[in-house]
Homo-oligomer: A and B are copies of this chain.
């Protein structure tokens, strides 16, 4: 069940990509599961097929889905390890941004650790874990 907000400034094709990726992450879509066809989804969302196609091409480029000729689009069966490695790369990228900012303002490493602890404390899904 993919939904889209027509009035949002975020492009429709991008909303579709985000919805599907989130559904994969949360396990709503499993490996090799078939997605609605481009035409089906276009009808359901009342949108042009090319718009859905653009979203699907984007996801294929990101290896989130793959196509079977004449059959449709399917969730790529990425291994848990692949997904974790990607997530770690993204996390490292964010950490580097943090370190850049911290350095330009001469924030100490321990202050960063405090901020991280605090963010974790306040995070709805991380409350249970203690430093």
Contacts and interface: CB of A to CB of B under 8 A. Distances in A.
Given A90-B101, A91-B102, 18 more contacts: A26-B104, A84-B107, A87-B104, A87-B107, A91-B101, A91-B112, A91-B115, A92-B115, A92-B118, A94-B97, A94-B98, A95-B116, A95-B119, A96-B119, A99-B126, A100-B123, A103-B126, A109-B120
Nearest to A84: B105
A98 to B, nearest CB: 5
A109 to B, nearest CB: 4
B102 A87 contact: yes
The secondary structure that dominates the A interface is: helix
Given A98-B94, A112-B91, A103 B123 contact: yes
Contact of A88 (B100, B109, B115, B123): B115
B123 A99 contact: yes
